[in-house]
Amino acid sequence: MIVVPVGLGERAYEVLVGPGARHELASLVARALPDTVRRVAVVTQDLGIEVDPGVEHRTFTIPSGEEAKSMATVEALCSGFARWGMSRRDAVVAVGGGMVTDVGGFAASVYHRGIPVVHVSTTLLGQIDAAIGGKTGVNLAEGKNLVGTFWQPSGVICDTDLLETLPPGEWRSGLGELAKYHFLGGDPDGRALDALAIDEQVAACVRIKAAVVAADEREAALGAGSGRGPGREVLNYGHTLAHAIETAGGYGMRHGEAVAVGLVYAAELARELGRIDDARVAEHRRVVAGYDLPMRVPDGLAGDELIDLFGRDKKALDGITFVLDGPDGVEPVTGVARAAMEAALERVR
C-alpha cells in the first residue's frame, strides 16, 4: 500500500493507493473521521463493488452518466439522507468514478451545511484526478460543472484492483491524463512514469496533484513566481486543444484521447516558441504513443475553427493562456502569436 499525504494543514488527508486498498476503508474511516461519526451513507452506482466502512451504513445508488450529474440527483440524495435521519454527526463515503465523487462530495458539502466525505475512487481518471483536491460539482443544462464547492475529503482510497473491470473506453479516457502527469514531474525518484507498475503510476500522479492542490487549494492560480509552487493551471496541460476538439464536436474522441493530442500540440507549440528542443517534443510523442493514444487532430476540423475555440477556453484569463513546457517546467504562457499556433497545428495533422 502506498500512502500519499495531501498537505492541507487542518484539512490534510491521506490517499491510500494499491491493489485491494478498498479493504482499508474501515480503518481509514476510524482514523480519519471524527470519532463522533455514527453512521455512513455509501453513495455509489450499480457497480457491484462492496465496501465496508466499519460502522452502521446504508447504500444510496445514483444513476450513471453525465445527465445524472445534476442538482436533481443531489436533491434526491439529500432527501434520502434526511429520511434516514442523518445528522451532522454522520458522514458520506462516495464509491465510484469522478461522477460519483463529484456528486457525493457536493451532497456531503451542502447537507447540514457540510458533513465529512471519504472517496473510494474506482476509475483511472477518478484515482489520478477527480477524487483528489476537493473540487465537487454538478452540471446545469447551461454547462458542465457550473455548480459546485471546494470540499476536501477526509481520506481517499484508490484501489487499483478495481481498474481491471473498467470498460476499455473509460481506461483510455484516464490514460490521456496519466500521460499528462509524465510532464508535470513524473516519479519522485526520477523514474519515467510510464515505466512504473500501475499502482506506482497512480501514486505518482496523486503526489503531483496533491502538491499542486496544497500550493493552490482554491485555484487562485498563483502560478510561477508566487513562491508557492505551481498553480492549479498546470493540471490543464494539454487541455487547450483538447477542449477545442471536444467543443467542435468531439469527432468520436474521448476526453483522454483529446488530451493526448493536446499534449503533442502543446509540445509542438513550445518548440515553435523556442521553449523546448526537438528531443523534448520527441519525448511527448514517445509517451503518448506508448499509451497507444492518438497524436493527430481528427480529420475535418479546420485550423481556424480550433484556434477561435482556444479563446473560449474557460481558463483564458487575458487573451489566450496556454500551459506550456519550458526551461522552468510546465507553466502558463500568454501572448502567443496566432502564426505560432497555426504552425504547431500543422504538425499534429
Residues 151-190 that bind ligand NAD (CB under 6 A): 162, 165-166, 170, 173
- Residue 341 CB contacts under 8 Å (≥ 6 apart), including other chains: 269, 307, 310
Task: Candidates 122-130, 236-244, 280-288, 336-344: pick the segment binding ligand NAD (CB under 6 A).
Answer: 122-130
Query: Does residue 140 sit in helix, strand or coil?
Result: strand
Instruction: State which residue, 62 or 345, has the beta carbon closest to ligand NAD.
Output: 62
Q: Among residues 239, 254, 284, 315, which one is catalytic?
A: 239
Of 119, 182, 207, 209, the active-site residue reads 209
Query: Could you say which of 69, 182, 243, 271 is catalytic?
Result: 243
Instruction: Kindly tell me which residue out of 6, 21, 108, 125 binds ligand NAD, with binding defined by CB under 6 A.
Output: 125
In the complex, least distance from residue 143 CB atom to ligand NAD, rounded to whole angstroms: 11
How many whole angstroms separate alpha carbon 144 and alpha carbon 118?
Answer: 23
> Which residue of 96, 176, 185, 262 would you call a contact of ligand NAD, by CB under 6 A?
96
How many Å from the N-terminal Cα to the C-terminal Cα in the chain?
A: 42
Q: 3-class DSSP state for residue 159?
A: strand
Q: Which amino acid is at 189?
A: D
Contacts by residues 216-223 (CB-CB < 8 Å, ≥ 24 positions apart): 217/8, 217/11, 217/134, 217/150, 217/152, 218/150, 221/317, 221/332, 223/331, 223/332
Compute the distance between CA of residue 237 and CA of residue 242 in angstroms, rounded to an integer. 10
Nearer to ligand NAD, 11 or 285 (CB): 11
Going by DSSP bridges, is the β-strand pair 155-159/13-18 parallel, antiparallel, or unpaired?
parallel
Catalytic residue among 172, 232, 254, 284: 232
Active site residue 39: no
> Are 193 and 208 spatial neighbours (Cβ–Cβ below 8 Å)?
no
230 binds ligand NAD (CB under 6 A): no
Letters for 53-82 (x = contact with ligand NAD by CB under 6 A, - = none) are -----------x-x--x-------------
CA 327-217-96 angle, to 5 degrees, is 105
Which three cell numbers mark 134?
476537493
Cα(236)–Cα(264) distance, rounded to whole angstroms? 14
Burial zone of 323 (CB within 10 Å; 0-12 exposed, 13-18 middle, 19+ buried): buried
The smaller minimum CB distance to ligand NAD, of residues 32 and 99, is found at: 99
Going from the C-alpha of 143 to that of each of 7, 66, 70, 151, the distances in angstroms are 32, 11, 11, 21
For residue 235, the minimal CB distance to ligand NAD (Å) is 8
219 is catalytic: yes
The one among 104, 126, 186, 294 contacting ligand NAD by CB under 6 A = 126
Asked if residue 45 binds ligand NAD (CB under 6 A), the reply is yes
When CB distances to ligand NAD are compared, the closest residue is 98
Q: Does 47 bind ligand NAD (CB under 6 A)?
A: yes
Query: Annotated catalytic residue: which of 236, 254, 268, 284?
Result: 236
Binding site for ligand NAD (CB under 6 A): 45, 47, 64, 66, 69, 96-100, 102, 122-123, 125-126, 129-130, 133, 135, 145, 162, 165-166, 170, 173
Provide the annotated active-site residues.
Answer: 113, 135, 177, 209, 219, 232, 236, 239, 243, 255
